[in-house]
Structure 1
């Protein structure tokens, strides 16, 4: 199996695992970011956000059953499985390309023989550029699936099936197919760039700590410790990147779900959110998105790098 195939398979498995496990977080976040839902439950907004989230989840379960929390899972899989596979593969290829440049290759290779990763090493600037451009490119390609996912999770649309949702979107034309694409790029590019920078820095620090506390005669971090390093690094990086880009996630969701004129453009959507909720409106659903990103990053990167390392080990022993 080629190197590209390894990354595609690892990325697809990563996207599948994180989507299945964490779909309820996405569903609840989408519902909570709906303006009419917030207006209907305005009397609860002063309650702790965790209480508001619990009430929203209970309402969904009462009306649609427990499986209602997984509404839109198929739409999420259609977007996330190829999306994560393409992102990880593209990120690896782009990082490998940048690593050949003296401007982005690290001046000194890690001195420790311990490593929890088989991925190319770059400077912070190289990781920022690779993460941002790769994520933005994949996001633009898969934006139609992102729109369908958001609308399928929303209570504004009562699609009977994914095919109905897809055909309805296609009939709407390019303006609807790429609704929220700019807001998505404004969210995804900085998120991915910040994430990769923090992920690689934290991972290098933890790997160095593992090297200093383990038997120096052993080469390489044990698989279980490697998975722990990758998970903790990804979870921490996900938290930082999520908090920094939450306002853009709110913009993207409202632009993809709402059909009113005031939600047609980025600046008009910003004004609408400001008028309705003020600064707090740009952080609606932040607890859910933060929780989901922390868990999805931990699961996704651990699965991705774990599968790659397993494939590499199997190939070396053949």
Structure 2
């Protein structure tokens, strides 16, 4: 039997993609926590205004009298009423939350990856999907849900005639005092769905694109523009994949959540009262924010982790 025939009969292997970091080595969760936390803090300072605009549009129900005509109107109205820094209302909740969120995301991804990757540190597409899903669920429970609930309440409170939250500490204490600890864990189910699907999509798409750019050579280092573009595309894929979940999550965390029995009832009411396209409200600002978010975080994470390795080697 000739060699070509043997090749045809050989068992096929799954296509393997690298994790969205250098696959040739295992990364330690400890360094991933530090690199992820620093990356998340820098990223949110840059992108928060787009998150503010997205949340305002999602809270502006079509069933009621709309307050805003679109993203630009949100920006101009906010600056006119509260000045430029009005676009940073609710920043404290995301800043305090983004650092642990990114730290938990990358550390948990590296932990799951280290458990199942092959000896070369590679994952199949399905394994990458699973690790991303696990990272998203973990960050949703331990960081994102309370952070997002507080952020949405702060932004929604700004729309009231007499805002009642005087700052982060006062706002959180008021929420806990009036609603209990569960008051900062509203919309947990949709948040888990959102973050799980977010990270599953992002890690897979980022891994696929960077693998293509490397030409299959895991030792090749990508430039800043390459990682930024890969991250932006991964972020865009997650936006179009799960914005409906994000809309339901936002409504369930707002001050008007009492109008809904649960996430499913919220979904039905949006469909009935506002139509299909209401599930994609805020897509434009979210697209801008998430593409920047993912591009910046993945790029910073890669380089901060390498810097930590270099510093460790010098000690």
- TM (norm. structure 2) is 0.83
Q: Is the 8 A contact 1:11 1:304 kept in 2?
A: yes
Aligned-residue offset at 1:260: 4.5
Per-residue deviation, 1:259: 3.2
| Structure 1 residue 4: Cα displacement | 3.4
Q: What is the deviation of 1:158? A: 3.6
Match of 2:151 in 1: 149
Q: Secondary structure at 2:165's aligned position in 1?
A: coil
Residue aligning to 1:114: none
2: distance between equivalents of 1:42 and 1:65? 18
Q: Provide the C-alpha distance between the structure 2 equivalents of 1:249 and 1:220, rounded to a whole number of angstroms.
A: 36
CA RMSD of aligned residues (A): 2.2
Name the CA distance, whole Å, in 2 between partners of 1:279 and 1:42. 20
Is 1:187 the counterpart of 2:190? The answer is no
- Specify whether residues 43 and 97 from structure 1 end up closer, same or farther in structure 2 by C-alpha distance, changes over 3 A only: closer
> How many residues of Structure 1 are paired with residues of Structure 2 in the alignment?
282
Corresponding position of 1:202:
209
1:169 is aligned to 2:169: no
Match of 2:98 in 1: 80
| Matching residue of 1:216 | none
- Given the two structures, how large is their TM-score scaled by the length of structure 1? 0.82
Q: Where does residue 265 of structure 1 map in the other structure? A: 262
In structure 2, runs of 5+ residues without a counterpart are 1-26
Alignment match of 1:19 (pick from 44, 52, 65): 44
Residue 284 (str. 1) matches residue 281 (str. 2): yes
Aligned residue in 2 for 1:231: 228
Relative distance call for 1:300 and 1:43 in structure 2 (3 A) is closer
- 1:299 matched to 2:305? The reply is no
Q: Separation in 2 of the partners of 1:248 and 1:182?
A: 10
Conserved? CA contact 1:33–1:250, under 8 Å: yes
**For the residues of structure 1 that align with 2:96 and 2:260, how far apart are their CA atoms?**
26
- Residue 43 of structure 1 and its aligned partner are, at CA, apart by 8.8
Match of 2:12 in 1: none
Gaps of 5+ in 1: 45-51, 100-104, 110-119, 212-218
1:208 and 1:96 map into 2 onto residues whose CA distance is 24
CA drift at 1:13: 1.2
Distance in 2 (alpha carbons) for counterparts of 1:85 and 1:39 = 39
